[in-house]
Amino acid sequence: MPVDPRRPSVRPRPLRAAAVFAALALLVSGCVASKQATPVDDDGPTAATDLPANFDSLLPEGLDPAFRDYYAQQVTWDGCIGGRLECATVSIPVSWRDASLGSASLEVVRSPARGESVGSILVNPGGPGGSGIDFIESAVGLVSREVTEVYDLVSFDPRGVGRSTPVECVDDDVLDRMTQTDHDVRTAEGRASFEAEQKTFADGCLARTGTLLGNVDTASAAHDMDLLRVLVRDESLQYLGYSYGTQLGAAYAGQFPERVGRLVLDGAVDITQTSDEASLGQAKGFELALRNYVTSCQAGAQCPLTGDVDSGLQLIHDLTERALANPLPTDDDARPLTRNLAFYGIAVALYSDASWPYLTAALRLALVEGDGTGLLQLADMYNDRQPDGSFGTNSFSAFRAVGCADSRGSTDLATMEADRLKILEVAPTLGESFAFGGLVCKDWPTPVAEVDYDISAKGAAPIVVIGTTGDPATPYASAEALAATLDSATLLTWEGEGHTAYGRSNSCIQGAVDAYFLDGTVPAEGLVC
């Protein structure tokens, strides 16, 4: 069945290494209430009493006067997250197209500069659906100390996400069934059951989220970023976006090219692709990452993937097909390992080669002992599922809502089948999980948002795009494409494995990005690290 392989492509989450290692070591050795609709805020912004003298010069060109009060609102920063950071709640319009639709809230967090601040860097971890509030402490560790010495780091939960006014769709028990239930969409019966499931989900999103559901598109979220720029009193936006955050940053540059400061887009999304093209490219990226993993596994000890690399890949493919026909038992009798869960468990470990040992342990358990517990644990981390069956975030719902608001795949059966064959040609191991993606948004109740700006962002200051050659979620070709699309972009390459580069690669990447943020030095064209 079609799954959501890009969702955890938020800036790579740690796999809670100690906990995973301990759990898998034990395994290898043998040893919520119903959620109601969330109303949007009706009060709107509170007027600030201390606007700076240059306030009007901070406003974007052509701002509709109906939205001026949002830019002029009072923002109160309070200590939060153990007193180490500062948090604020900001009022945003439900729609930047229609001020009459009321207001919603945006939760924002700030880590003040260690020394005297020269401004802010807005940070987004990706998703869509990734929480910037949850990410901020990791961001402080990823960004070099020289940068955090002089810049405040600011992040936020985008509209529809987390602590901001959220997208809400179904109860946790329904979502739990969705993430584990297999639908063999190669068959008419499987497609029908999958479509029915997706329609129930979409109808729930509209009933519980209301008007906001049709306004969580990327362009609207990027407009919120311009609001944050003004609220922190910056003339231009400095920005660090990972994964889907690169799409968000590109949307900002397209709408507000004159306000682009220093933008770093790491783990880039190709914004010119259709949904179907993106699925094909991502399937190819995961196949490459999986091949690299199998090569590494077979070079080490206790690898369960015997034979050559192709044989090892075939073992993984056969495991997922067996899980479709007969789910593997786990330590939870009520939750056997389905193919859907097996895919999630494998995929999450491909986001960083530091996670490969955990995947090896989980595959050994599944292939040698017929026990799916290790892959189930990894899948739960992917989905942010808690032991009690609840979900720690609304990232699944937000991912779906933003994705369907931005674009839709083809729902023509012949086209989807032809696309499936193209996917299997480049991704024979896990490609089935990327096929028939058009069914996901087929019955979505709101229309695709219009893109009414120049996606090349002509006139913007220099932008840095980073691509990782072994990136599964946003393949390197996507970084090349985004750099070619943005008129002022320079491509920076990391020859490495996993998803994204800055903060997890090497001193070459770190130094190039730091110099760009600190003094505006753009990396040399074609620099490969």
**What Å distances lie between residue 131 and 7, 149, 152, 157, CA to CA?**
12, 24, 18, 5
pLDDT at 50: 86
Taking residues 278-294, report their average pLDDT: 95
Within a domain: 149: no
**Side chain identity at residue 1, one-letter code:** M
How many whole angstroms separate alpha carbon 434 and alpha carbon 280?
Answer: 8
pLDDT at 413: 96
Nearest one of 332, 424, 420 to 379, comparing CA atoms: 332
pLDDT at 495: 96
The strands making up 151-157's β-sheet, listed across from edge to edge, are 78-80, 85-93, 103-111, 151-157, 119-124, 237-242, 260-266, 463-470, 489-497
Instruction: Determine whether 499 is an active site residue.
Output: yes
Task: Taking the CA atoms of 20, 22, 23 and 24 in sequence, report the sign of the dihedral they define.
Answer: positive
pLDDT at 61: 94
Instruction: Determine whether 176 is an active site residue.
Output: no
Out of 395, 471, 488, 505, pick the active-site residue.
Answer: 471
Which tokens is 249 given? Answer: 């940053």
Chain-wide mean pLDDT for the chain?
91
For residue 332, give its domain range: 7-33+169-210+275-439
Nearest one of 96, 104, 90, 88 to 41, comparing CA atoms: 104
Please list, residue by residue across 38-52, b when 16 or more beta carbons sit within 10 angstroms of its beta carbon and e when fewer do.
Answer: bebeeeebeeeeeee
Nearest one of 210, 180, 178, 184 to 197, comparing CA atoms: 178
Out of 105, 395, 410, 499, pick the active-site residue.
Answer: 499
Phi, psi of 465 (to 5 degrees): -110, 130
Residue 30 pLDDT greater than 80, yes or no: no
pLDDT at 47: 81
Within a domain: 176: yes
Q: What is the pLDDT of residues 86-140, one digit of tens each?
A: 999 999 999 999 999 999 999 999 999 999 999 999 999 999 999 999 999 889 9
How many whole angstroms separate alpha carbon 439 and alpha carbon 416?
Answer: 9
Q: Tell me how many degrees the CA angle 457-461-463 measures, rounded to the nearest 5.
A: 80
Among the ranges given (43-57, 153-167, 297-311, 494-508), the one the predictor scored with the smallest mean pLDDT? 43-57
Sorting pLDDT into bands at 50, 70 and 90, what band is 84?
confident
Within a domain: 512: no
Within a domain: 228: no
Within a domain: 256: no
Out of 243, 275, 395, 456, pick the active-site residue.
Answer: 243
Tell me if residue 92 falls in helix, strand or coil. Answer: strand
Residue 184 pLDDT greater than 80, yes or no: yes
Please state the pTM of the whole predicted model. 0.91
Sorting pLDDT into bands at 50, 70 and 90, what band is 1?
low
Within a domain: 185: yes
Tell me if residue 499 falls in helix, strand or coil. Answer: coil
The domain total for the chain is 1
**Which 3-state string (H, E, C) describes 2-19?**
CCCCCHHHCCCCCCCHHH
**Side chain identity at residue 485, one-letter code:** T
Sorting pLDDT into bands at 50, 70 and 90, what band is 81?
confident
Q: What is the pLDDT of residues 486-517, one digit of tens each?
A: 999 999 999 999 899 999 999 999 999 999 99
Within a domain: 493: no
Q: What is the pLDDT of residues 432-476, one digit of tens each?
A: 999 999 999 999 999 999 999 999 999 999 999 999 999 998 999
Instruction: Determine whether 41 is an active site residue.
Output: no
Residue 26 pLDDT greater than 50, yes or no: no
Q: Return the residue matching tokens 């920063």.
A: 77
Residue 38 pLDDT greater than 60, yes or no: no
Within a domain: 384: yes
